[in-house]
Amino acid sequence: MLACSSPNVSQSDALPPTIERIVRNVMRQVRNVSDSVLAMDGDTVVRIIKPYVTDAGLTCVIIEKLRTRDPIGEAVQKHGMTHRQADVLRLLMQGAPNIDIASQLHIAQATVEDHVRNIAAKTDALNRSQVISRVLGFI
């Protein structure tokens, strides 16, 4: 969302009340904004920018929602993993050894080893560490 206000447009006409509160608080704290100011409230990021234009009263407010990343969900979808492989991957990402994964999922340790091997193949990884690195986007 982008809202700009100038002396002709009041902020209350251009911004939702919660965002207006954030903007007013930031503007109170920073009286002389030369370039931009960044503020956060929960999952909302507000950037207040005074563009380099002749209208010195112009202020632009850019409002963005933070997107939380789900690397495991992304990997499951990208590599076509089964629900059970997703369960194993979640525990693998937490550092659980095969015996603990087997216990938590109520499956045999050999089955976990098969899932880990299949997950590694699907992610082009040679071992567990590479699986984690690939899922997190490090390699």
pLDDT of residue 86: 95
Contact 15, 24 (CB under 8 A): no
Contact 34, 22 (CB under 8 A): no
CA-closest candidate to residue 19, choices 1, 36, 37: 1
pLDDT of residue 69: 74
pLDDT along the chain (139 residues), means of 10: 45 61 66 60 70 61 73 92 95 92 96 96 93 87
- What distance in Å separates the CA atoms of residue 8 and residue 48, rounded to the nearest whole number? 18
pLDDT of residue 20: 72
DSSP character at residue 136:
H
pLDDT of residue 38: 67
The ranges assigned to domains in the chain are 2-65, 71-136
CATH class of 71-136: mainly alpha
- What distance in Å separates the CA atoms of residue 40 and residue 32, rounded to the nearest whole number? 19
